[in-house]
């Protein structure tokens, strides 16, 4: 596909717009309760999360105020109010923390946050590449400037505040879980808005992967990390955003699940490059456990088995909340029957399933 990619105004705006609590929590996390009982929980004392809106638990909200995911109806299912999470409720990182018997992670920019069990540095809209490099590639970032390198700087500042002795710091980090990603999607989406072709975006992938790998190799491992999860990309061709923006009358453009082949091929290309980088890291650091978080396969598995998982067939590719976060917008009546929340991010129910798949890897660290 060589023509320049264009996104209609409705989707562009959607992109920018980014019972009781105890009972709902218990019902939601029954699968994780079983995992807690059946699997040996690794001795992880803290979690450090880097990434974008897939993992942000409130940093963008504290950075720019009540916009996008910090407005209703975001957060309506679990918290019953917006928390800055880009979903109707819990994210995968929330499920990881609970399964590891840790409290939910506070966002780094929350001055009242509890950081005794880790920190969430992820920011909605964050890029893997620094915004100055993306500008050099003629890609303008209109969202947060808090790229992966900025988040790394936050981590270093946090580390300096909790331990001054390097050996003590390394010991603390050795007992922690690091999740670096998913990140990179905003680098590519920003390219789409600038009219980049698929070929242009493919040329950006090695740089995105190198940025992730470099942070892990030169910084995170050096500072003491011994257990690292590096998530890949979701199946982009199955996202309502892509399906609507690149709708085609040609059946050959779609796979057996109704997803756009060329976008899934792009996701697979990114994931392959990332897995190769992880293999290189594993070879260079045999004493560090580094695993790939396969979001792509888990996402596809969810779509293939939607019925047994409680999802409505008619809701597989239809967002629960359109123009979410805009004034007067309401969500669909039953978010748990939908896979996608707002066209780009998944529902709490979908994130729960994918988190469950990744926990099988995390529990082995």
The residues annotated as belonging to the active site are 53, 342, 345
Which residues, including other chains, have CB under 8 Å from residue 13's CB and lie 6 or more apart?
323, 326
């Amino acid at each position: 596909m060589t023509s320049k990619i264009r996104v209609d105004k409705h989707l562009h705006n959607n992109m920018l717009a980014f019972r009781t609590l105890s009972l709902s929590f218990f019902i939601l996390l029954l699968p994780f309760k079983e995992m807690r009982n059946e699997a040996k929980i690794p001795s992880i004392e803290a979690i450090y999360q880097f990434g974008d809106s897939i993992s942000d638990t409130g940093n963008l909200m504290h950075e720019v105020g009540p916009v996008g995911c910090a407005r209703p109806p975001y957060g309506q299912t679990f918290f019953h109010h917006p928390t800055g999470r880009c979903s109707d409720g819990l994210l995968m990182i929330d499920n990881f923390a609970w399964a590891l018997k840790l409290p939910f992670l506070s966002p780094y920019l929350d001055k009242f946050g509890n950081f005794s069990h880790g920190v969430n540095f992820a920011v909605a809209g964050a890029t893997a590449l620094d915004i100055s490099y993306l500008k050099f590639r003629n890609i303008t970032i209109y969202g947060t400037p808090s790229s992966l390198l900025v988040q790394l700087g936050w981590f270093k500042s946090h580390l300096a505040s909790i331990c001054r002795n390097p050996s003590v710091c390394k010991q603390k980090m050795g007992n922690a879980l690091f999740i670096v990603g998913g990140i990179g999607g905003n680098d590519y989406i920003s390219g789409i808005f600038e009219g980049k072709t698929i070929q242009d975006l493919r040329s950006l992938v090695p740089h995105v992967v190198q940025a992730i790998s470099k942070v892990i190799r030169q910084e995170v491992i050096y500072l003491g990390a011994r257990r690292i999860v590096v998530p890949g990309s979701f199946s982009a061709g199955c996202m309502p955003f892509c399906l609507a923006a690149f709708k085609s009358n040609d059946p050959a453009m779609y796979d057996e699940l109704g997803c756009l082949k060329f976008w899934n091929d792009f996701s697979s290309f990114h994931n392959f490059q990332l897995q190769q980088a992880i293999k290189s890291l594993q070879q260079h650091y045999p004493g560090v456990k580094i695993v790939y978080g396969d979001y792509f396969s888990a996402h596809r598995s969810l779509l293939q088995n939607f019925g047994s998982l409680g999802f409505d067939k008619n809701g597989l590719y239809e967002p629960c909340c359109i123009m979410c976060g805009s004034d007067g917008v309401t969500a669909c009546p039953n978010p748990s029957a939908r896979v996608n929340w707002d066209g780009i991010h998944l529902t709490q129910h979908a994130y729960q399933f994918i988190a469950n798949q990744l926990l099988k890897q995390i529990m082995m660290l």
